[in-house]
Amino acid sequence: MYKIILAFRYLVKRRITYLAVLAVAICVFIVVVVMTVLTGLVIDFRQKNHSFVGDCVVGTESLVGFAYYEDFVKILEQSYFVEGISPVIKSFALVNPVGSERNVGVEIMGIDAVKHSKATGFGKTLYYRKDNVSKAFKPAYDPNLLGCVIGIDLVLERDAKSRYPYGSGPTDIPLAISCFPLNAKGALAKADAGLVKTQTFYYSDNSESGLARVDGSMVYLPFEQAQLLCGMAGPVKRVSAIHIKFKPNVRLEAGCEEVDSLWQSFKREKADEKQAYLLEKVTVQGWKDYRRAYIAAMEKEQTMMTAMFGLVGVTTVFIVFVVFYMIISHKSKDIGILKSIGVSNVNIIILFSGFAFLVGLLGSGVGLFAGWLFLLKINRIEDWLFERFGFQLWDRTIYAIGDIPNQVDAKVLAVIILSAIVACLVGALVPSRQAAKQKPIETLQVTQL
C-alpha cells in the first residue's frame, strides 16, 4: 500500500514530475494528431480506390483487351457471390473541343453507367445525374446527343476550400475524341479516315472520384461507342476488364479466389478458340492489388511517419529517463529510509515503476484529451488560419482533400497510450534499478543530506 501512496504523492508533490508528465503529454498529443490525420488520409484514399475499382478486376494491361468476355460475364451472373458486373473498355485518346485547336491527351473508360454503378461507386461520383445514373451519358440540354462524363479536374478548377464552381447544368460543349483502334493482334486497325477513329461526344456530367490522377485525366464514354473507338467491337468483341462487386457477406480474398477459379476453368474451356491467346494476359486481382501502385506509395508514407514517430517515442523514453534520474537522485534519502525499515530492492523498483506508470497514464491522458480536442476543431482552426493568414496545411487547389480527417481510431489510441506507458516504464527502469541497488547506508550519511 505504501508503494501506491508514495507513488501518488511523488506525482502530486514533486514539481519536476510535471515536466515528465508534460513531456509525455506533448509526445502523445503530436502522435495522436499526426497519426489520426495520416491514418484518416490513408483510409480515405483506400476507400476512394475501392469505390473506383469495385471489389475485383478481371483484366489486362494490354490495350488490345481480351475476347469472349460476354461468356464469362454470363458465368459470373450465375455465381452466388457476385452482386455487380461491369465490362469496361480502357484506352487513351485525344480530346479536342470542337472548334478549338487544342488537344488534350486523356484516358478513356467505356462503361455501361448503370452496370458500372452497381459494380463500383461510379454513380456517386456524378454531379448532375447522381440520382439518375441511367442518363449519365444523356446531356440535360439535349438527351438525344451522345454524352460523355468528364473527370472533374479536366473541366473545373477547385477553389482554396476544395469546392468546384458547378453551374446549374453542364454546358453545351462538343468534344471530338480520337483513338487509335487496335485489332486483336495488337496492330493498328484501319478506321474511317486512316488509322485514327474520331467521334464527337457532348459534355453531360462530371465525375469526382476524389482520386486526383483519375479526376484529372479520365473521360467516361458509353460502352458501345468506346468499344468501337478502340477497335474492340469486331465480330469477336473485346474488353479491357471486368469490374466485379461481391455480395456484402463475401470476404474479398474468398471472392477473388472464387473468381480466379472460375476464370481458370473458363480459360481452359476457351483454349481452342481463335483468340484464346488474349486470355493468357488476363489477371484476376482484388482492388488492393489492382491499385497497389497508388496505394503502396501512400502506405509507404504512413510507414515512414510511423517510424519517425517511433523516434519521437525514443525521445520520450530519454526525457523520462532524465527526469526520473533527477527525481530518483533527489529521492535517494527516501530510498535509504525505506530500506532501513525493511523495504526490499524489488519493492523499490515497483515503487518507482508505479510512479512511472502514473506519469505515463496522466501524461498520455492529458495528451490524448488535448489531441482529441484539437482534432475536433482542426478543420475550424485551419479555416480560421486560412481566412486570417492564408495558411493551409494542404493546398486544396493541388490536393484532392476535402476536410482534414479527424476521426479518432480507438485502436490507434489504445496503442499510443500503451506505448506512452511502456516508454515511461522503460525510461524509469534504469534509474529505479540503480536506486534499488543503493546501500541504505550510502544514502543516509550526513554528506548525502
Which residues lie near another protein (CB under 8 A)? 1-2, 4-6, 9-10, 13, 333-334, 336-345, 347, 439-441, 444, 446, 449
Q: How near is the Cβ of 2 to another protein at its closest, in Å?
A: 4
Residue 18: CB atoms within 10 A of its CB come to 16
Q: How near is the Cβ of 331 to another protein at its closest, in Å?
A: 9
Decide if 204 contacts 129 (C-beta within 8 A). yes
Q: Which is nearer to another protein, 311 or 449 (CB)?
A: 449
Q: How near is the Cβ of 3 to another protein at its closest, in Å?
A: 9
Q: Which is nearer to another protein, 276 or 444 (CB)?
A: 444
Q: Which is nearer to another protein, 107 or 334 (CB)?
A: 334
Q: Which is nearer to another protein, 345 or 406 (CB)?
A: 345
Task: Give the number of residues written for the chain.
Answer: 449
What's the per-residue H, E or C state across 171-190? Answer: CCCEEEEEECCECCCCCECC
Counting beta carbons within 10 angstroms of the beta carbon of residue 321, is it exposed (0 to 12), middle (13 to 18) or buried (19 or more)?
buried
- Provide the b/e sequence for 378-417 (b: ≥16 CB within 10 Å): beeebeeeeeeeeebeeebeeebbeebbbebeeeebeebb
Taking CB atoms within 8 Å and a gap of at least 24, the contacts of 122-127 are 122/52, 122/207, 122/220, 124/51, 125/51, 125/207, 125/208, 125/209, 125/210, 126/205, 126/206, 126/207, 127/152, 127/166, 127/205, 127/206, 127/208
Q: Which is nearer to another protein, 315 or 340 (CB)?
A: 340
Residue 448: CB atoms within 10 A of its CB come to 12
Phi and psi angles of residue 230, each rounded to the nearest 5 degrees, phi first: -90, 0
In terms of phi and psi (left: phi > 0; alpha: psi -120 to 50; beta: otherwise), the region of 234 is: beta
Q: How near is the Cβ of 352 to another protein at its closest, in Å?
A: 14
One-letter amino acid identity for 129? R
Q: Which is nearer to another protein, 58 or 356 (CB)?
A: 356
Cell triple for 449: 543530506
349 CB contacts (<8 Å, ≥6 apart)? 429, 432, 433, 435, 436
Q: How near is the Cβ of 307 to another protein at its closest, in Å?
A: 40
Q: Which is nearer to another protein, 6 or 195 (CB)?
A: 6
Q: Which is nearer to another protein, 402 or 440 (CB)?
A: 440
Q: How near is the Cβ of 17 to another protein at its closest, in Å?
A: 11
Q: How near is the Cβ of 443 to another protein at its closest, in Å?
A: 9
Output the CA–CA distances (angstroms, integers) from residue 168 to 128, 133, 192, 258, 449, in the order listed. Answer: 9, 18, 37, 45, 82
Pairing between β-strand 218-222 and β-strand 104-111 as defined by DSSP bridges? parallel
22: nearest Cα among 350, 323, 326, 310: 323
Q: How near is the Cβ of 356 to another protein at its closest, in Å?
A: 16
Q: Which is nearer to another protein, 132 or 344 (CB)?
A: 344
Q: How near is the Cβ of 338 to another protein at its closest, in Å?
A: 7
Q: How near is the Cβ of 442 to another protein at its closest, in Å?
A: 9
Q: Which is nearer to another protein, 51 or 347 (CB)?
A: 347
Query: Which residues are 207's β-sheet partners?
Result: 126, 151
